[in-house]
Structure 1
């Protein structure tokens, strides 16, 4: 069942889904190590027998679990909500320590829908002259398919390597979409040693692994032993001129 991701996400792979899908091998267990917005998970035509989505971001994981299990109560939280800069700032600065999981999920969803560039670390209220803001009256309609898509899916909140080790089997397919090397805005440290660790696991694991990453000499050196495909995407969002234009992306597999 092909549907749209439920939130925008910095570094999302919506435009790369067609190329990624072509490279998915036969498997029984599908695991995303860095789910983020989950473009590949949501936009694939055919679901796998067993599916696992994982992310280190606790607020994101909470959102998926709430949409999976408590959609009706989630939608009720938007009854009196408005699309406004004032509400955005209020929610951004709100103390989440006393919120329920459903309230936290509502806050995260609202902020992510309205944040400029889908940034999760330094959110600012996004404005646009060519697209409409989120329609708060149609949230249930928009998320009903996602609720069904998430049915039976295991939602994990593990470090990527712990998730890898937990699910590595000969019939497992891993999709890895880690933070891009030398690009900021992800809100987490991901040093070159982490890419090397992933390469080491790709060499020794039982399962099949597909990695999508930005094209950089350091990355090509680390993954030179694997199959590397190059593709290009046009980036148009960003305040800095150097962040726009065509960028080379790599799809790397161990099969």
Structure 2
């Protein structure tokens, strides 16, 4: 009897990203996203954050939503308000559970620039009705990511984060404006999950989010990390 399992159909492929300076790719485990982690963005969303009485909150997307920088993706169905969100992405390289903030750097493998594309109209309807955000956030081809830049054990504390659409500046801020910094995010998330190599954490977006249309070209960067690009194709 064969020890290899037999499936009714082919299982989904392992999602992965290129790694700067390496022929090996980084296999993806889970995708975590930090909500409202820049004050100005929280305000523009109508939900200011008081760090003294709140803790970070998160949502997840399926790994199958991941697309590599440079892709052209279809404008998704069910929305008339598809938004960009530029983010610094943190790649976990070691297991960790209930990690202290001062030890959080041990889990870091590297970083990438990323986009959290969002059906904003559906997200806001769900938010206002107290429902899950899945239809607004867990959108096919909506987790865009550039190549992973290895920086094991290094914590990014500052650096410009910016985005343009068709060459027009839309978002411009600095990573030092994160409400919860990278150490705090890793430590807090590890209270709820056994973090594993290949987990990606999208750390939040600054103010200036907005809608795109088919044909638009999105380009973003994080200083010292790299660039990310996406073209929005015709509607699916």
Q: TM-score under structure 2 normalisation?
A: 0.24
The structure where strand makes up a greater share of residues is 2
Q: Which has the larger radius of gyration?
A: 1
The structure where helix makes up a greater share of residues is 1
Higher relative contact order (CA 8 A, sep 6+): 2
Q: TM-score under structure 1 normalisation?
A: 0.23
